Structure 1
């Protein structure tokens, strides 16, 4: 099945259909995307038609102020859960690798990730988004799917798809702007445009080494076992 058409949204897709140990992910339950600041009227109509009732916005205050979501006519509850520690700009200034960024997210922002997963478990059909839908959204969706029992290879493949869905012209402009600010940055293009499978595989391996599994990580970070059970029940069709 093709990705839903939501005019004005970037990197929008339904993660339904991915294989899990006990079945497949239900369609129409969990969506992911970049920001909703450029939705056209046809986009808001398409979003409403998908039946989404909850949106989890992982952006910080500055990002939201700069690019507010266009949701006129969509009856939806929006929960703000800023996920990054520090500004997005700081990651380019510090020239961190994507692998280090993800490790920092799961190690230092576990409480926020738990709240996002809880919101998904309690609020489906739900859309999770950040600015591009690559890193914060990618990590949150990956951990949600892993906790629900989705096969790791499918989680990694869904994450890796993102860089194929980012418009080339967008990438060119973003990289040029950032390169002017950080001419010597080694990881700039990876941070701005890439979603390499080995990075997600490494993040999941790090969690497994520290907590045994993603479900173990979420439990260790405060998510109740019954919420994980509810998540699996909502997302997985046997």
Structure 2
């Protein structure tokens, strides 16, 4: 079986045990270098071999420590670099310090995700880290914003970025609305479909506060040389 779904038009990869996995290449970004997905905590041995066949060299996990403790990635002996770069602040007890409202969450991430995204860029430009897979729990919010910032930085058109972002609704079965799930503390919550408005508002927030995506990243220590290295590695 091909690594891709039986539908040739589908953007999703057929990796057993991994949800919402696809190539993040749009516009000038070269295919086969940056992938995005949900967590690997249910990755099967067959799925691990398919990741190996893709040439994945590193995995960046954007989840927090409590999530990692409950649902650690299953790598089945894959020889790759695994890095944890939480997008959101850690919980205080059982309470989430971030908003439950999706629109507010994206604006919150625009304010707080800078250090994590900067660290992702440094990781991607380090030797032998590509191809890389970036993931969070289901690959739609934390991964969605992180990958969108990278795609914008690398010159992808806003319409293409938004279209790729919205694919998570199909990848997670959210086309008909929210779906309940049990979080890492045992609480029942709703997984909500992503919207273009949430993403565009977050990107607008970070650009207006800093002037540009490059300036946003520069405020978190990313150098011009690192941006040049990222573009050389992932585009062209």
Q: Summarize deviations over 1:88-109 as a string: whole Å, max 9, x none.
A: 9645x97542222122223123
Tell me: CA distance 1:94–1:13, structure 2 relative to 1, closer, same or farther (3 Å): closer
RMSD, matched Cα: 2.5
Residues 146-177 of structure 1: CA distance to partner in whole angstroms, max 9, x if unpaired? 111111111111111111110369x64418x8
Which one of the candidate residues 100, 103, 109 is aligned to 2:104? 100
Q: CA deviation at 1:214?
A: 1.0
Question: Could you give the per-residue CA deviations for residues 47-78 of structure 1, whole angstroms, max 9, x where no partner exists?
Answer: 11110101111111111111111111311100
1:59 aligns with 2:68: no
Q: How does 1:74-223 map to 2 (within 5 A)?
A: 74-87=78-91, 90-91=95-96, 96-122=100-126, 123-167=129-173, 172-174=179-181, 189=190, 192-223=191-222
Equivalence for 1:4: 13
Match for residue 47 of structure 1 among 6, 26, 51: 51
Aligned to 2:36: 32
Counterparts in 2 of 1:206 and 1:173: CA distance versus 1, 3 Å? closer
Q: What is the CA distance between 1:134 and its match in structure 2?
A: 1.1
User: In 2, distance between residues paired with 1:98 and 1:58?
Assistant: 18
1:117–1:140 contact (8 Å) kept in structure 2:
no
Query: TM-score normalised to the size of structure 2?
Result: 0.84
TM-score, normalization: structure 1? 0.84
CA contact (8 A) 1:121 1:231 kept: yes
Q: How far does residue 3 in structure 1 lie from its aligned partner after superposition?
A: 2.7
Give 1 or 2: higher helix fraction: 1
Distance 1:151 1:29 in 2: 19
2:3 matched to which residue of 1?
Answer: none
Aligned length: 221
Q: Identify the range of structure 1 (97-106 vs 45-54) with the bigger mean alpha-carbon deviation.
A: 97-106
Structure 1 residue ranges without an equivalent (≥5): 183-187
Give the whole-Å Cα distance in 1 for the aligned partners of 2:109 and 2:148. 13
Indicate if the aligned counterparts of 1:83 and 1:136 stay in contact, CA closer than 8 A: yes
